[in-house]
Amino acid sequence: MDLKDNAVLIFKNDKKNGETHPDYKGQINVNGQNFDIALWVKEGKNGKFFSGKISEPYHKAEPPEGNFEAPPAKLEDQTSDLPF
């Protein structure tokens, strides 16, 4: 999603499965660069507040393309031409 410069989009995390998962997540744009943002609702002596973390955008790892190396040869194949 393209954000305008210095804008924030935050949504309730409907996939939260544990206390370590954020209550809210989204994206923040700082001077043209996008970051992921995670927020937790905390309770303090003056009431509820947000605690957060900003990180590089998550990119799902894709399998490498193209030339895959052949699996290593079996030991028998490697020793069959030895002179002893």
Q: Indicate the domain borders of the chain.
A: 1-57
For each successive 10 residues of the chain (84 residues), what is the average pLDDT?
A: 89 94 96 95 96 91 70 62 60
The reply to whether the predicted model has a pTM over 0.75 is no
Do 35 and 55 meet the contact criterion of CB atoms below 8 Å apart? yes
Distance CA 20, CA 54 (A): 15
Torsion of CA 37, 8, 51, 12, to 10 degrees: -80
- What is the pLDDT, as a whole number, of residue 65? 73
